[in-house]
């Protein structure tokens, strides 16, 4: 077993290049492997797998416990601290589990983590994942063996050819959203542990259903919401400022060099500004730029960096740079993943790792502070369209699509630039699709999807049933959309993108806006300080106003994206055509080759922008090719 655990751990060298070790108990049938990226306590005292002071527990732990100093002090005050061997957060985590129990310790810890804990006294294994899903954890059974790992590449080495099969339901979800929604993975029988959950594997091999240990809408948040409801605006801004400051202070602790990503937008600028406000030395910041008009945010990041006085580094990315990364995407992401900003994320991570080992980011700001314009737009569109019978909506939808995206853009070209920023041909066509929704939940899922349910792209499965998150909970449509993003889009897309990109470069990223206390505060804040005048993140913008002039921040948001549509028609065209060969796709038996060909022809003709649809297909095709999955399995599954 130790040899197999070592073989699995070797697949994850990029996640921990500094050391590797294995602990095994052959008689109990358990082995834990660990790769170390040394951040805290660089000595051997921080090495893993680590045994607890009593010897009862053994842990393999990926991530950071940011409040470990507070937890350590509490253990000492209660007289429950062991004789400390070092100052690592892993040792504190083990001591907390031994003193309070696993579930209580999880509730007390603030951090990002994936934990595997072996209990020698009960011969049980516990798995746990952090509150928002920053760190990944896959688990399942292969040939009677229970396996788990941070990435699927480690699990793949356990099986033999034919034991891992593509989960068509997961594939249908991927084609909709561009990522595989939890709890599924791309493989049948292998799951992702949901964020803020733990599971227990008993001595008889039975696996419990995942148990939630925290929620962004739990009783503590309800009580905080009542406390904040009537506070004046300035007091609420102070609370947000303080919470983010405290989070950054906790997350800036490291025994290695630390920096930050900076796009020049609200979220990353707020994080960097509050880092600078507390730093004892000059902060280093990093950004990516593009030569293509409309995609380059590097000049804004440079201006913010100059104002804050950071040591700023930027890298401009070309289509050739992107093309050089594409062959690595399947290996880096391990399962199909199609957020095209994965490419600049990888490149900025490589740039940053040349200088520092840890980078703070602004991830999560839009989800927790209601920053997406789509919330208000979708709620308003549903309110208007729901009054019109479906027959009338179908006619209106058809009428809006009579003109191509380019024709609409040409028409809007006569309007003032300020108007053109919010109204364009692509949005008109998207609205035509959304009008066909039966309720607000379906409308938002359609908005967040590429291939729609009725497209029937994946053979042998009905994509209409691919709903990863239920539309449940309290609040209005905006609250429900934000909950959906927080529980699905954030952990399954954005955090996957950042984790795999950064760890492929052996760079640790931290997200101060996703600290437990910041998240709970954000979900408790009244709407009046979240959205103002149709613009989200009002309270976060007011915090940032204290440090950075508004004129350096306010601009149309480009996002961390690439000029995908143009690149697919140009420098990436031959690569794309080789993967989209209809004969190859038919032989594989997973996708409708004619539908794929139709979308490709629409795109290369220039009449439509189908870049995002195609990127989903391309990322699956590239993954299928690189993973060596037997094409016969696809043909058999579609029969």
Q: Which pLDDT score, from 0 to 100, does residue 566 have?
A: 86
d(CA 267, CA 240): 13
Q: What is the pLDDT averaged over residues 255-261?
A: 93
- Assess whether pLDDT exceeds 80 at residue 486: yes
CATH number of the domain located at residue range(s) 219-370+485-552 in this protein: 3.40.50.620
Q: Which pLDDT score, from 0 to 100, does residue 608 have?
A: 77
What confidence tier does 542 reach under pLDDT thresholds 50, 70, 90? very high
Q: Encode pLDDT of 423-444 as tens digits.
A: 777 778 888 988 988 888 889 9
Residues 6+ apart with CB under 8 A from 319: 567, 570, 571, 572
Q: What is the 3-state secondary structure (H, E, C) of 492-526?
A: HHHHHHHHHHHHHCCCEEECHHHCHHHHHHHHHCC
- Assess whether pLDDT exceeds 70 at residue 469: no
Q: Encode pLDDT of 144-162 as tens digits.
A: 899 999 999 999 999 765 6
Residue ranges, comma separated, of all CATH 3.60.20.10 domains in the chain are: 2-212
Among 31-35, 406-410, 516-520, the least confident range: 406-410
Options 3.40.50.12280, 2.70.98.10, 3.60.20.10, 3.50.50.60; CATH for 2-212 is: 3.60.20.10
Is the pLDDT higher at 629 or at 465? 629
Q: Which pLDDT score, from 0 to 100, does residue 439 have?
A: 85
CA dihedral 39, 43, 45, 46 (to 10 degrees): 20
Q: Which residues pair with 207 in a beta bridge?
A: 201
Q: What is the pLDDT averaged over residues 511-519?
A: 98
Q: Which pLDDT score, from 0 to 100, does residue 606 have?
A: 82
Q: Quick one: which H or E segment has residue 199?
A: strand 197-201
Burial class (CB in 10 A: 0-12, 13-18, 19+), 354: exposed
Q: Which pLDDT score, from 0 to 100, does residue 184 have?
A: 96
Q: What is the pLDDT averaged over residues 529-546?
A: 95
Residue ranges, comma separated, of all CATH 3.40.50.620 domains in the chain are: 219-370+485-552
Burial class (CB in 10 A: 0-12, 13-18, 19+), 476: exposed
Q: Which pLDDT score, from 0 to 100, does residue 636 have?
A: 46
Q: Which pLDDT score, from 0 to 100, does residue 508 have?
A: 97
Q: Which pLDDT score, from 0 to 100, does residue 42 have?
A: 79
Q: What is the pLDDT averaged over residues 244-250?
A: 97
CA 194, distance to chain mean position in Å, is 12
d(CA 82, CA 545): 46
- Assess whether pLDDT exceeds 50 at residue 504: yes
**pLDDT, mean over the chain:** 91
């Amino acid at each position: 077993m130790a040899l197999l655990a070592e073989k699995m751990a070797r697949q994850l060298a990029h996640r921990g290049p500094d050391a590797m070790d294995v602990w095994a108990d052959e008689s109990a049938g358990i082995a834990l492997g660990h790769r170390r990226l040394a951040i805290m306590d660089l000595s051997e005292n921080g090495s893993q797998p680590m045994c607890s002071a009593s010897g009862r527990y053994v842990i393999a732990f990926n991530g950071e416990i940011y409040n470990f100093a507070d937890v350590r002090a509490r253990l000492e005050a209660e007289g429950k601290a062991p004789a400390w061997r070092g100052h690592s957060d892993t040792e504190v985590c083990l001591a907390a589990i031994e003193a309070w129990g696993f579930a209580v310790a999880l509730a007390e810890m603030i951090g990002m983590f994936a934990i595997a804990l072996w209990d020698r006294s009960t011969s049980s294994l516990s798995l746990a994942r952090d509150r928002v899903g920053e760190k990944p954890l896959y688990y399942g059974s292969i040939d009677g063996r229970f396996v788990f790992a941070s990435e699927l590449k480690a699990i793949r080495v356990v099986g033999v050819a034919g034991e891992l099969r593509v989960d068509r339901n997961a594939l249908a979800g991927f084609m909709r959203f561009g990522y595989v929604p939890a709890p599924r993975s791309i493989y049948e029988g292998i799951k992702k542990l949901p964020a803020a959950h733990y599971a227990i594997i008993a001595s008889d091999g039975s696996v419990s259903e995942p148990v939630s240990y925290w929620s962004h809408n739990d009783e503590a948040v309800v009580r905080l919401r009542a406390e904040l409801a009537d506070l004046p605006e300035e007091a609420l801004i102070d609370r947000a400022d303080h919470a983010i400051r405290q989070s950054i202070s906790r997350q800036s602790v490291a025994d290695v060099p630390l920096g930050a990503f900076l796009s020049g937008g609200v979220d990353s600028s707020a994080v960097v500004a509050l880092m600078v406000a507390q730093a004892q030395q000059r902060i280093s910041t990093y950004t990516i730029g593009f030569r293509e008009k409309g995609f380059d945010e590097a000049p804004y990041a440079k201006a913010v960096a100059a104002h804050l006085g950071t040591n700023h580094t930027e890298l401009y990315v070309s289509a050739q740079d992107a093309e050089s990364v594409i062959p690595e995407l399947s290996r880096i992401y391990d399962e199909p993943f199609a957020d095209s900003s994965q490419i600049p994320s990888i490149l900025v991570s490589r740039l940053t790792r040349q200088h520092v080992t840890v980078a703070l980011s602004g991830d999560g700001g839009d989800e927790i502070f209601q920053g997406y314009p789509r919330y208000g737009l979708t709620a308003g569109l549903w309110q208007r369209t729901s009054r019109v019978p479906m027959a009338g909506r179908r006619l209106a939808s058809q009428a809006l699509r009579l003109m191509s995206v380019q024709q609409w853009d040409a028409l809007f070209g006569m309007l003032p630039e300020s108007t053109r920023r919010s109204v364009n041909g692509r949005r008109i066509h998207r609205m035509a699709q959304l009008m066909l929704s039966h309720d607000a939940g379906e409308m938002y899922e359609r908005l967040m999807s590429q291939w729609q349910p009725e497209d029937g792209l994946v053979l042998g499965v009905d994509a209409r049933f691919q709903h990863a998150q239920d539309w449940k909970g309290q609040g209005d449509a905006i609250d429900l959309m934000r909950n959906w993003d927080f529980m699905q889009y954030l952990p399954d897309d954005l955090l996957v993108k950042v984790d795999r990109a950064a760890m492929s470069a052996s760079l640790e990223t931290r997200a101060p806006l996703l600290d437990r206390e910041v998240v709970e505060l954000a979900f408790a804040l009244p709407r009046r300080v979240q959205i103002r005048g149709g613009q989200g993140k009002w309270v976060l913008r007011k915090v940032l106003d204290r440090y950075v002039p508004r004129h350096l921040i306010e601009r149309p948001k480009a996002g961390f994206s690439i000029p995908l549509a143009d690149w697919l028609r140009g420098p990436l065209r031959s690569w794309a055509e080789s993967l989209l060969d209809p004969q190859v796709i038919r032989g594989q038996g997973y996708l409708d080759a004619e539908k794929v060909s139709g979308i490709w022809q629409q795109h290369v003709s220039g009449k439509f922008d189908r870049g995002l649809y195609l990127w989903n297909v391309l990322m699956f095709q590239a993954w299928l090719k690189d993973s060596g999955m037997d094409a016969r399995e696809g043909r058999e599954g579609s029969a």
